[in-house]
Structure 1
Amino acid sequence: MKTAITSFISEYLAEVVEGNAAIFAGAGLSAPAGFVDWRELIRPLSQELDLDIDLESDLVAVAQFHVNANGRNRHRLHKAVIEALSADNPPTQNHILLAKLPIRTWWTTNYDKLIENALKDAGKIVDIKSAIQQLATTRPRRDAIVYKMHGDVDRPDEAVATRDDFERYSTDRGAFITALAGDLVSKTFLFLGFSFTDPNLEQVLARVRLTFTTNQRRHFAVFRTRTKRADESDKAFEHDRTRQALVIEDLKRFNVRVLLIDDYNEITDFLEELVSRYRRRTVFISTSAANFEPWGQQAVSEFAQELGRSLVASGSRVATGLGAGIGDAIFTGGLREVMRLNGSIEDSLILRPFPQSGRHEERDELWETYRKEIISHAGIALFLFGNKYSGDDVISADGVVREFEIARQQGLVVIPVGATGAAANALANIAIADPDKFIPEWGEDGPRILGELADESTSLGRIIDITLDLVKILQRGHQGGS
């Protein structure tokens, strides 16, 4: 992965964690979903005007010409918007990945519903703002706000599409400009699929630049490096390549850093890495213990408290189902560190105590759903001990094994600590037998580290040190510079 992209991921991830990240989506983000771009949308209208849309650079003017030619009647324009964008096309992989991140602020010039549908599919409550009157209302318990500054396919009569619309924008929809200017000052934007030819955005960026001349917030935009098309002349290619370089340089005035990619698939690659890095901030701990040999219950309890405390102190969030015999100690250690730091419990701990009442069959079904839900928040899963009573006998905990299987299915990095015995030991042996399959993210030192974590002579204190070091490496990014 390119150095500029790697640097962006680290910087933008920090803003995501702090709640300061925002997305600005242009038509390019929607194109892979099967929706036409603006040029294709108005192609039928240009044909009615005897214009070749492929020769036109000012598409807003073409829309205005069509309205003019029809006695200021916008019906055909509205119909074109509806026909092109009303299909219920599913969100793209990039939409799905972005929706997994806790980004609350979204801006778009698109009319389609891909953003809000992706967010809803991710279980989020979405507050849509496509008209001025909606800016004054707040949807309860919202997880994300989507500002559709050019309108929505459901309200085609209000779509911003013609020269008239853009000229009246500051009067008719000026509150959007004010809201966007505020977000550009307080949040770090990632512009995706956007060409920076929108006059409204240019006006807002200029306002922010003039107000915060030497203290502008940094933003990011993704451009595909201009390459020569098979049917393109050398002169046309050199012109466009030079123009792209000038646009990139000009955007520096607004503190927008352009990330150049060679193929649009690279966007999916770095979004996957971004989501993975974000999820890896949360460590799910799967554990249960009825037998504490050879250390004894007191020593294991102290170990669990220190592990919980150390993970929180290092900046990780701990997710746990409060497994029997040890889960409470992990929670206690993490909670004490949160209180010491005067931090937020919600930002550091995810707790899902397993319900115990109900019929056996219903409870098992509930536990399965419960496990999948809590594990979905994490990117790393740690497996400790894993034993329980069956009558008077101590046996392997099948719940810990099931959580290992779910973690693998959901793409988490798994860390079975075999030295703690029982189910954790059995899982470690499986991973030792095929490290390329079970711990590829650990890198070349993975088998050695896994072996030390499985060694019965490894002390509890050493287990904590190894685990913390490994978690830090995994949270910095994928091994091998992918």
Structure 2
Amino acid sequence: MTIDRYELVGIFGSAVDAGVASLFVGAGLSAAAGLPTWSDLLGPLAAEIGVAGEFADLPLLAEYYEQNGPGRRPALENHLRNELSAYRTPAESHHLIAKLPIDEIWTTNFDPLLETAAADASVAAQDNDALDIGTGRRTIIKMHGSLSRYTPTTWTAAPVITRSDFEQYEDTHPRMWALLRASYLTRTMLFLGFSFADPNIEVLLRLARRYDTTAADRHLTVLRRPADPEGVQLHELRVRDLENSGVHVCEISDFSELTPMLQAITTRTRPERLFVSGSGDKALLKPWYDKLAVALTARPPSWQLASLGGPAGWGVTSRLAELLRANGRYRPDRFRIYFRKNSAAQAPLMDAHVGTAIFTDLEREELVGSVLDDCRALLVICGGSGTSDEVRWALERGVSVIPLASSGATARSVWDSSNIPPDLGGRPCDPQVWHNLADPDPDVAVMAAMTAIDQAMCRPRG
């Protein structure tokens, strides 16, 4: 049975938490950056060797092209380089992958878009490069060849493209294959951007059949379901083959669905951190943050609060810290209070030594954006125009926004603007929970807010 995207996000997120996750990227991910499909890339070669019509086995087509006369291998590599050299701007999906806290990113893609987006990562493209992997630095492993990031475009590692290249891979790249096999047997691998029309799907099929992992049931792939009804039966047989070998399959109708899925994965793999935003009269806010602080004492000690020290953020932070101190569970690293460049504009005056103060030279938008990039959720209590900005910046980054609507002001307007309950933590929020955020009874509203926060923070249910 296939899994849905919510299950995939949860399984892979748990693997990231455990430090055993790897990603394997196929050509479908680069399609969003405008790169040609495999058939568009290799199809024109058929006419050059006098083959009419579509040629389903593209590596075999490349093989025949290479065998068609002297100098054909350089011509094949030049064709690939010329067709791909214009594509140098990563898509949003590449930037999302760059944010994932994983140390192994495998790809069969020739293009340099992943390493352009993740400039801090090392690149392993030659077989001997496998010897340096595992030293603690994140690595992009280009197992089928690589084009350079800079002009003029050159091959930094020769492409694996013909049928012979695929069949001889274990002999020509023994270290790379051994490393891939080890990762497959010991990690949770997520295969993204593949379809059964992709010649590189053979890598996944070969691993699944040769290294059956049904006992661990650990691997994941996202596959595009064919639109053509005639292809559905064969697709379903192939899917069943993968699932019987311990690979969970999540089906999509188009590769454009990969970006929101990656956004959900990226958010899920951020630190367990809640950003508290809002402003208003202290006396009016106090009942809200008192109740929220009491509820938060029951949440895991790994959870952290972040804020700019505004009225709502400081109110929840200081009250929760007070309660945790009373039972000996206070830790300053659970509370992060950020001060921006123009500290004189920051309010209110803090009346206790709580948490960890972080001083920056950043202006407000840049600071808030950098903080939100490491948060899973944003809680909105009352608030004004500054809070509205923070909500907008959070939504742009895929951060779940929970407006405590019954506190009024910005929180209420954010809640009113949602025609349907949004996704929180990769799953739709329960309509009743969303409705209760606006309940006039503070106890009911805070209970709903905590349920929504639990979901956004990916806290296990039950």
TM over 0.5: yes
2:166 equivalent in structure 1: 166
Q: 1:427 maps to which residue?
A: 410
Secondary structure of 2:24's aligned partner: strand
Query: Which amino acid in the other structure matches residue 223 of structure 1?
Result: L
1:331/1:175 CA distance change after superposition, 3 Å: farther
Write the mapping of 1:243-282 to structure 2, written as runs, cut at 5 A: 243-275=234-266, 282=273
CA distance in structure 2 between the partners assigned to 1:409 and 1:269 by the alignment = 12
Counterparts in 2 of 1:288-437, with a 5 A limit?
293=283, 306=294, 309-313=297-301, 316-323=303-310, 326=315, 329=318, 332=321, 349=334, 351-354=336-339, 366-384=363-381, 403-404=390-391, 406-407=393-394, 410=397, 412-417=399-404, 425-428=408-411, 430-431=413-414, 434-436=416-418
Tell me by how many angstroms 1:218 deviates: 2.6
Deviations 1:146-204 (A, max 9, x none): 21110102326622223443343222211111111121122222223324654555544
Question: How far apart are residue 261 of structure 1 and its match?
Answer: 3.2
Amino acid at match of 2:123: I
Instruction: Give the counterpart of 1:469 among 439, 451, 462.
Output: 451
Backbone CA RMSD of aligned residues: 4.5
1:106 maps to which residue? 105
Gap runs ≥5 in structure 1: 229-236, 387-396, 478-482
* 1:283 maps to which of 274, 278, 281: 274
Cα distance in 2 for residues equivalent to 1:36 and 1:295: 55
Q: Which amino acid aligns with 1:136?
A: L
- TM normalised by structure 2 equals 0.74
Note the alpha carbon deviations across 1:201-225, whole angstroms, 9 max, x for none: 554444422xx6x524432223333
Identical aligned residues as a percent: 25
2:85 matched to which residue of 1?
86
1:80 Cα deviation from its structure 2 partner:
1.0
TM-score, length of structure 1 as denominator length: 0.71
Contact 1:91 1:118 in 2 (8 A): yes
Residues paired across the two proteins, number: 428
AA matched with 2:452:
L
Change (3 A) 1:320 1:183: farther
Amino acid at match of 2:453: V
Change (3 A) 1:259 1:302: closer
CA–CA distance in 2 between the matches of 1:415 and 1:135?
45
State the distance in 2 between where 1:294 and 1:156 align: 63
Corresponding residue SS for 1:226: coil
- Structure 1 residues 403 and 242, CA, compared in 2 at 3 Å: closer, same or farther? closer
1:381 Cα shift?
A: 1.6
Tell me which amino acid in the other structure corresponds to 2:144: H
Question: Which letter does structure 2 place at the counterpart of 1:469?
Answer: T
User: Residues 250-297 of structure 1, C-alpha deviation per residue, up to 9 Å, x if partnerless?
Assistant: 2234212333334444444544544555569532123679x854898x
* 1:119 and 1:126 in contact (8 A); partners too: yes
Which structure shows the bigger proportion of residues in helix conformation? 1
